[in-house]
Amino acid sequence: MKSQEETLEEWCRSLLQAYELEDVQVDINAILSLAGVAAHSVVRPAAPLTTFIAGLAAGLSTSEGRTVDAAAMESALSVAKKLAGAYDAEAPETPGE
């Protein structure tokens, strides 16, 4: 059985690959810390909302414009939802890793 850390790292790699962002470095502990603060300081459902908006803001701040393309956001959410729905934490690692 994989540890929680191994599962999160594998899941992170899967998401980055799905978005063709393999070269992006993600600080999982910093994201989890932010989620923990939001969950305990606001309400539990604020954790995913907060991390999503923080990621969106970070992405927008590196782009030329600050306009949000609703279709691009829906597409990104759809990819993550599809991957999460199909993800099996107990399955062996993805072939080719």
> What are 26-73's pLDDT values in tens digits?
899 999 999 999 999 999 999 999 999 888 878 776 675 544 556 666
pLDDT greater at residue 79 or residue 18: 18
User: 26: closest CA among 41, 39, 42, 10?
Assistant: 10
Cα separation, 45 vs 35, in Å, equals 9
Looking at residue 82, what is its pLDDT?
87
Q: Say if residue 95's pLDDT is above 60.
A: no
The tokens describing 33, both together, are: 């810390």
User: 56: closest CA among 45, 40, 70?
Assistant: 70
Looking at residue 66, what is its pLDDT?
47
Task: Please list the alpha-helical segments (H only) found in 1-97.
Answer: 4-18, 28-41, 46-62, 70-86
Q: Say if residue 97's pLDDT is above 50.
A: no
Cα separation, 83 vs 14, in Å, equals 8
User: 16: closest CA among 69, 90, 86, 76?
Assistant: 76
The tokens describing 69, both together, are: 């393309």
pLDDT greater at residue 75 or residue 65: 75
What tens digit of pLDDT does each residue of 81-90 get? 888 888 876 6
Cα separation, 66 vs 60, in Å, equals 6
